[in-house]
Amino acid sequence: MPSIKIGTRDSQLALWQAKLVQQKINSISLADIIEIKSEGDIDLVSPLYEMGVQGIFTKTLDVALLNNKIDVAVHSLKDVPTQLPEGLMIAAILPRANFKDWMVVKDEQIDFSKPLTVATSSLRRKAQWLNRYPNHTFESLRGNINTRLQKLKDNEHWAGALFAAAGVERIALEIPHHIELDWMLPAPGQGAIAIVCRNNDNDVKSICLNFNDNNTALCVNAERQFLRTLMGGCSMPIAALATIDSTGKMNIKGNVLTIDGKEKAAIEMQFSENDFINAGKAAAQKILENGGKEILKKVKQQIK
Residues with a catalytic annotation lie at 79
User: CA 73 to CA 224: how far, in whole Å?
Assistant: 19
Q: DSSP states of 48-59 as a string?
A: GGGTT-TTTTTH
Q: Are 230 and 187 in contact (CB under 8 A)?
A: no
- H or E element that contains 198: strand 193-198
Q: How far apart are CA 62 and CA 302, in angstroms?
A: 29
Alpha-carbon distance of 41 to 11, in angstroms, equals 9
SS3 (DSSP) at 239: strand
The 10 Å CB-count burial string (b at 16+, else e) for 53-92 is: bebbbbbbbbebbeeeebbbbbbbbbbbbbebeeebebbb
Nearest 5°: phi and psi at 86?
Answer: -60, 130
**Residue 186 buriedness (CB in 10 A; 0-12 / 13-18 / 19+):** buried
Rounded Cα–Cα distance for residues 85 and 196 (Å): 11
3-state secondary structure of 125: helix
Is residue 93 within 8 Å of residue 216, measured between CB atoms?
Answer: yes
Short-list 105, 109, 117, 242, CA closest to 163: 105
Contact assessment for residue 276 and residue 250, using Cβ atoms and an 8 Å cutoff = yes
